[in-house]
């Protein structure tokens, strides 16, 4: 059954949309260099300078991280190693150095080997059997490699192999039950579903309240101090927790969407429709509230006496609010990407409305929502993390989703409109939304300055880091990684940052360097998206070089999923485009301000660059 499109039809190809000969625009107006443009190029240069210093400090020849040689135990997830470099391919795709682009591939391969050979956590180049909150942090890195160079055959093959662990194509894994439309365990990967948990995972997840044992098994307050509870607890945990599908498993959807974007193979799109629609149907049947556990027969609460809450990383979990929100959002975005059907966004919208409809004002006047649901009902009211509602609005461009942002902002204006320096994991799109709304006109300069200072601060730590690198805390690399893509993503692509927990890039625009035949802004070129509409985007392009012309291609969407209908310079006549991209020639020291007319989500997503056409020649 399909709750959205009946039988979703494939999107049009570029040939059907006449993606053949877009017009060439040329900038002719000399311009004083805008402050934002100078700062944007300075930030790119600073990151390009800092990245090699970071890599030389913390990696061995060949790229493996300088760290413990023996596996440190089940308390360490594979994601912590990948996260050292997760955003390097994003930076390259925005205009970063060739060095960063090349090292993105080197480091992904090296860390994969290290996890497989030294720590035994990877099999067939994929994590053995971890949960999809952590797996999603791993593979956001892998997804972005296609933005750097989509012609790498190994990564195309990996994307298909990885997706096959979940689509039923791989007989060795069998993570998915197509009949009941469930992923069969909260822990899964290249070795299939994990039904017998590691004891470290049992004790850790019960101690940190990431799950419960259901209404029939209440933990004693001193359960960790008692002798001999392991066998009994382990058996209950395996039966109640480990044989269920959970919301964070929706993090698999972008993985399958990546295989679709490499190949265009329709079986990947059909799997996404089936799996996402199953969760939409369950939520609607549960009065619009997404249930956090589904049993082996596809029944909500099957192992918990019918209780729809209490599942792994679910409504009773310490961070379940954020974990579930990220999972439903990345899945909804990916489903919209591969189908063009915005009704898949209802999955994220139901989750948000569940919370907002139960929200209230606290003593400080802030709008707060419940972060948990347990036997006592909705509890632990606090402000909502803004990342997911911003993403929903960016994907839908609907007024009801924009109004929800205003509800969340009311009473918390200072937090929403203050620009601060932050790291790549601490994502905050609120001031960017304020800029688009006209509240923070100098946001570009503020965020570029803030990111520049954060790069400098992090590099200073790296340069003065004299500790024993073999004994680093596993989070140290991500805490000092000097590659920051926050400002560049907001300002150049006109989209929020990809959700750290497994999201695909969601820029309204992306750029290609014609002379160097690569992704990203050309040297000396800066871009600023100043306005977004449901069918429009305004962007300014500047060439800071005073002696050489720069040729840039402006593409519609991170995966060329949109279609450019027309373009006009500000105050000028409309020109027909009818293509997924627009070539622009920027003469020395000039600026051009464009208003683009866009039809969104009407094309199949592809990693292919404009000169590749619809198909990539893999090498």
In this structure, how many other beta carbons lie within 10 angstroms of the beta carbon of residue 71? 12
**pLDDT value of residue 1:** 33
pLDDT at 229 over 90: no
Q: How far is CA 404 from CA 306, 388, 412, 420, in A?
A: 32, 11, 14, 23
**Measured between alpha carbons, how far is 193 from 140 in angstroms, rounded to an integer?**
21
pLDDT in tens, 534-555: 999 999 999 999 999 999 999 9
79/528: higher pLDDT: 528
**Measured between alpha carbons, how far is 548 from 551 in angstroms, rounded to an integer?**
10
**pLDDT value of residue 12:** 56
**Measured between alpha carbons, how far is 171 from 194 in angstroms, rounded to an integer?**
15
- CB 604, CB 264: distance < 8 Å: yes
Residue 566: exposed, middle, or buried by beta-carbon count in 10 A (0-12, 13-18, 19+)? middle
Total residues belonging to the chain: 619
- CB 286, CB 280: distance < 8 Å: no
pLDDT at 76 over 70: no
**pLDDT value of residue 345:** 98
**pLDDT value of residue 617:** 78
pLDDT at 130 over 60: yes
Strand ranges for 333-425 from DSSP E: 360-361, 367-374, 377-382
Q: Side by side, which strands form the sheet with 581-586? A: 25-27, 581-586, 550-556, 509-513, 518-519
Q: What is the mean pLDDT of residues 351-366?
A: 96
Residue 207: exposed, middle, or buried by beta-carbon count in 10 A (0-12, 13-18, 19+)? exposed
- CB 543, CB 550: distance < 8 Å: yes
**Share of residues in the chain with pLDDT > 70 (%):** 95
13: left (phi over 0), alpha (psi -120 to 50) or beta: beta
**pLDDT band at 220; cut points 50, 70, 90:** confident
pLDDT at 336 over 50: yes
**Measured between alpha carbons, how far is 211 from 193 in angstroms, rounded to an integer?**
18
Q: What angle do CA 119, 123, 124 make, to 5 degrees?
A: 140
Q: What is the mean pLDDT of residues 71-100?
A: 89
pLDDT in tens, 4-23: 443 444 565 544 555 668 99
Query: Please, what is the average pLDDT of the chain?
Result: 94
**pLDDT value of residue 21:** 86
pLDDT in tens, 414-467: 999 999 988 777 789 999 999 999 999 999 999 999 999 999 999 999 999 999
Residue 249: exposed, middle, or buried by beta-carbon count in 10 A (0-12, 13-18, 19+)? buried
3-state secondary structure at position 559: coil
pLDDT at 347 over 80: yes
Kindly report which listed range (137-151, 212-226, 543-557) carries the lowest average pLDDT score.
212-226
pLDDT at 275 over 50: yes
570/228: higher pLDDT: 570
pLDDT at 618 over 90: no
Give the range with max mean pLDDT: 27-31, 70-74, 162-166: 162-166
DSSP state of 85: S
pLDDT in tens, 484-527: 999 999 999 999 999 999 999 999 999 999 999 999 999 999 99
**pLDDT value of residue 500:** 94
Tell me the whole-structure pTM to 2 decimals. Answer: 0.96
Sole residue written with tokens 């909260």: 186
């Amino acid at each position: 059954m399909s709750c959205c499109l009946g039988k979703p039809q494939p999107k049009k190809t570029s040939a059907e949309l006449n993606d053949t000969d877009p017009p060439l625009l040329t900038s002719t107006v000399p311009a004083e260099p805008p402050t934002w443009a100078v700062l944007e190029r300075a930030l790119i240069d600073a990151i390009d300078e800092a990245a090699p210093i970071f890599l030389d400090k913390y990696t061995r020849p060949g790229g493996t991280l300088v760290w413990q040689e023996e596996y440190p135990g089940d308390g360490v997830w594979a994601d912590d190693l990948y996260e050292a470099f997760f955003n390097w391919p994003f930076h390259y795709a925005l205009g970063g150095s060739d060095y960063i682009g090349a090292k993105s591939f080197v480091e992904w391969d090296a860390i994969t080997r290290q996890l497989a050979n030294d720590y035994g956590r990877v099999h067939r180049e994929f994590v053995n059997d971890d949960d999809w909150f952590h797996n999603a942090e791993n593979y956001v890195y892998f997804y972005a490699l296609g933005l750097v160079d989509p012609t790498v055959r190994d990564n195309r093959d990996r994307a298909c192999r990885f997706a096959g662990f979940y689509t039923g194509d791989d007989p060795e894994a069998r993570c998915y039950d197509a009949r009941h439309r469930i992923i069969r365990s909260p822990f899964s990967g290249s070795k299939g579903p994990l039904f017998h948990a590691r004891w470290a995972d049992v004790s850790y997840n019960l101690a940190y309240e990431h799950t419960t044992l259901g209404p029939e098994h209440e933990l004693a307050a001193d359960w960790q101090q008692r002798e001999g509870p392991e066998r009994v607890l382990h058996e209950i945990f395996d039966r109640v927790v480990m044989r269920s599908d959970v919301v964070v498993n929706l993090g698999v959807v972008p993985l399958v969407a990546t295989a679709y974007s490499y190949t265009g193979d329709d079986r990947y799109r059909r799997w996404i429709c089936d799996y996402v629609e199953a969760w939409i149907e369950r939520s609607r049947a549960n009065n619009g509230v997404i249930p956090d556990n589904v049993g082996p027969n596809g029944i909500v609460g099957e192992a918990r006496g019918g209780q729809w809450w209490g599942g792994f990383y679910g409504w009773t979990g310490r961070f379940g609010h954020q974990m579930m929100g990220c999972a439903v959002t990345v899945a909804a975005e990916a489903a919209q990407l591969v189908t063009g059907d915005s009704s898949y966004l209802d999955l994220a919208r139901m989750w948000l409305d569940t919370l907002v409809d139960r929200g209230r004002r606290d003593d400080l006047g802030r709008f707060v929502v419940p972060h948990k649901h347990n036997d006592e009902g909705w509890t632990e009211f606090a402000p909502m993390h803004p990342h997911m509602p911003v993403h929903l609005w960016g994907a839908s461009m609907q007024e009801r989703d924009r109004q929800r942002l205003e509800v969340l902002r009311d009473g918390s204006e200072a937090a929403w409109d203050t620009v601060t320096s932050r790291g790549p994991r601490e994502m905050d799109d609120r001031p960017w939304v304020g800029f688009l709304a006209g509240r923070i006109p100098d946001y570009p300069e503020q965020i570029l300055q803030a990111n520049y200072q954060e790069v400098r601060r992090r590099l200073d730590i790296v340069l003065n880091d004299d500790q024993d690198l073999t004994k680093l805390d596993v989070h140290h690399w991500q805490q000092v990684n000097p590659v920051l893509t926050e400002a560049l993503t907001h300002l150049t692509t006109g989209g929020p940052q990809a959700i750290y927990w497994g999201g695909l890039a969601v820029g309204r625009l992306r750029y290609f360097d014609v002379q160097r035949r690569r992704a990203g802004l050309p040297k000396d070129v800066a871009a600023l998206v100043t306005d977004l509409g449901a069918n429009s985007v305004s962007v300014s392009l500047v060439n800071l070089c005073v002696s050489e012309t720069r040729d840039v291609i402006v593409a519609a969407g991170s995966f060329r999923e949109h279609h450019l209908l027309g373009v006009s310079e500000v105050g000028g006549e409309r020109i027909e485009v009818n293509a997924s991209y627009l070539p622009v020639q920027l003469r020395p020291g000039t600026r051009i301000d464009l208003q683009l007319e866009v039809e969104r989500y009407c094309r199949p997503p592809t990693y292919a660059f404009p000169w590749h056409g619809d198909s990539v020649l893999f090498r």
